[in-house]
Structure 1
Amino acid sequence: MLSKFTQWLDTRRRDRALRTHAISDALWRKTLDGLPFLSHLDAADLERLRELTSLFLAQKEFSTAHDLELTDEMTVAIAAQASLPVLNLSLDLYRGWVGVIVYPGEFVIRKTVEDEAGIVHEVEHDASGEAWEGGPVILSWEDAQMTDGADAYNVVIHEFAHKIDMLTGEADGHPPLFRRWHAPLDAQAWSDVFDHAYDQFCAKVDAVPERRWARFERDSLIDPYASDHPSEFFAVCSEALFVKPKAFEAEYPELYRLLARYYRQDPAKVGALEAR
């Protein structure tokens, strides 16, 4: 009896959230027009994404900095991009926090870091996005609008991939695996493909002569920044999976299949989810 009541209550909450945060047809069309990489989704998937976007808006709280005006166009565009990675998973992967903070453009991050000698340094750098463990996602609105698919860049997908990676602790490039979604994929199978691909990519980046760095940075599908840490490699590759799926699959077929299996989506439509 309790289970049936809980299901009824969940359905009531879902229906109320969908009504309260309903997205008009005009706004949804405008959102899709601004996100051309969603073109691989069929009509049924787009409708599920629309519902998930509304549910995301019901669960998260948006705020802005530096007097940036918060608009429906802004929140729906960000929510739709954030919902895409969990379209065939669950918004539960974003549980435990509520805040999305939007800056007009890049913002300064200040951190305390300890070097190999144990000396603590105060550092700061410009950023287009930041995901805090247990805290908010911070985004540059200027960067969040860079969605024309000219390259594999997508700051929203990147930061929300970090949030998934952080679900069971510090981000390390090994996101949580759930039997109901990911079996028979397990931690060892993930490591066999992901860690090998990361090591190869780092070696590739390290081998680039300084005189050719600018060209490599411009031509590389995967941003060289991904070599900084396995968590960054996971987030950058997640961007590529959704924004440049065919190019990603062509250049990194095993890695593409691994991420396609994780997100349970095959945007390049190469049969990556079929049993092998």
Structure 2
Amino acid sequence: MLSKLTHWFSTRRRDRALRDYAIDDTLWQATLDELPFLAHLEAPDRVRLRELTSLFIAQKEFSTAHGLELTDAMTVAIAAQACLPVLNLSLDLYRGWVGVIIYPGEFVIRKTVEDEDGVVHEVEQDASGEAWEGGPVVLSWEDAQMAGGTDAYNVVIHEFAHKIDMLNGEADGHPLLMRRWHAPLDSQAWADIFDHAYDHFCAKVDAVPDRRWARFERDSLIDPYAADHPSEFFAVCSEALFVQPQAFEAEYPELYRLLARFYRQDPARIGIAFAPS
């Protein structure tokens, strides 16, 4: 009886959120037009994404910095991209925090880094996005608007991939694998493929001569920044999976299949999704 009552309240809350945060038809179509990588979704999936976007907006608090005006178009565009990775999973992967902060452009973050001699330094650097464990996602609106380009860059998917990675602790490129979604994929199978791909990519980056570095950055599907840490490799590859799936599959077929199994989506093949286990 209690479970039925809980389900009833949950359904009521969901229906109310969908009603109170409904997305206007014109705004939703404009969002789809601005994000061409959503074209792989068939009509029923676009309907589910629209509903999930409304539920996400109902659950999160959007705010801006430095005088940037928050508009419905900004909110829906960011929410839709945040919901794409969890379309066949659950918004529960974004539980435990509420804030999405949007800056007009890049912003300064302060980090503690340890050099090769073990000396700890406080450094400042420009950033286009930042995901805080247990805290908000911070985004540059200027960079978020670059999502419709021809490369694999997508700061929104990148930062929300970090949030997914943080669900089981500090981001480390080994996200939580749940039996109901990911069986028979397990931590060892993930490590066998992901860690090998990361080590291979790092070796590839390290082997680039200085004189060819600019060309490598221009031609590489995966941003060299991904070699900084396994968590960055996971986030950058998540961008590629959703934004340039055909190119990603062609260049990294085994890694593509791993991430497609994790997200339970196969964007390189229109209309194909991984069935629930």
Q: TM-score, normalised by structure 1?
A: 0.97
State the AA in 2 paired with 1:251. E
Shift of 1:119: 2.7
1:245 aligned to 2:245? yes
Counterpart secondary structure, 1:167: helix
Structure 1 residue 116 displacement after superposition: 4.4
User: 2:96: which partner in 1?
Assistant: 96
Report the equivalent of 1:82: 82
Q: What SS does the corresponding residue of 1:48 show, helix, strand or coil?
A: helix
**Residue 43 (structure 1) aligned with residue 43 (structure 2):** yes
Shift of 1:273: 4.2
What is the CA-CA distance between 1:117 and the residue it aligns to? 3.7
Distance in structure 2 (CA, Å) of the matches to 1:92 and 1:153: 25
Counterpart secondary structure, 1:269:
coil
Instruction: Check whether the contact 2:264–2:273 (CA below 8 A) recurs between aligned residues.
Output: no
- Structure 2 residue 55 is matched with structure 1 residue 58: no
Paired AA for residue 84 in structure 2: L
> Which letter maps to 1:141?
W
Give the superposition deviation at 1:121.
Answer: 1.3
Per-residue CA deviations over 1:114-163 (Å, capped at 9, x if unaligned) read: 33444331100000000000000000000001122310000000000000
> Where does residue 201 of structure 1 map in the other structure?
201
Structure 1 residue ranges, 4+ long, deviating more than 2 angstroms after superposition: 112-120, 270-274
| 1:107 match | 107
In structure 2, stretches of 5+ residues that fail to align are none
Question: Could you tell me which residue of structure 2 aligns to residue 138 of structure 1?
Answer: 138
1:112 Cα offset (Å):
2.5
User: Over aligned residues, Cα RMSD in angstroms?
Assistant: 1.4
Match of 2:151 in 1: 151
Q: Does 1:186 align with 2:169?
A: no
Give the unaligned 5+ runs of structure 1: none
Residue 6 in structure 1 maps to residue 6 in structure 2: yes
Aligned with 1:147: secondary structure?
Answer: helix
Question: How many residues are matched?
Answer: 275
Deviation at 1:110, TM superposition (A): 1.0
- Specify the SS of the correspondent of 2:185: coil
Amino acid in the other structure paired with 2:214: A
Deviation at 1:257, TM superposition (A): 0.2
Return the letter of the residue paired with 1:164: I
Q: Which moved more, 1:225-234 or 1:143-152?
A: 143-152
C-alpha distance in 2 between matches for 1:244 and 1:118? 38
DSSP 3-state at the match of 1:123? strand
Q: TM-score when scaled to structure 2?
A: 0.97
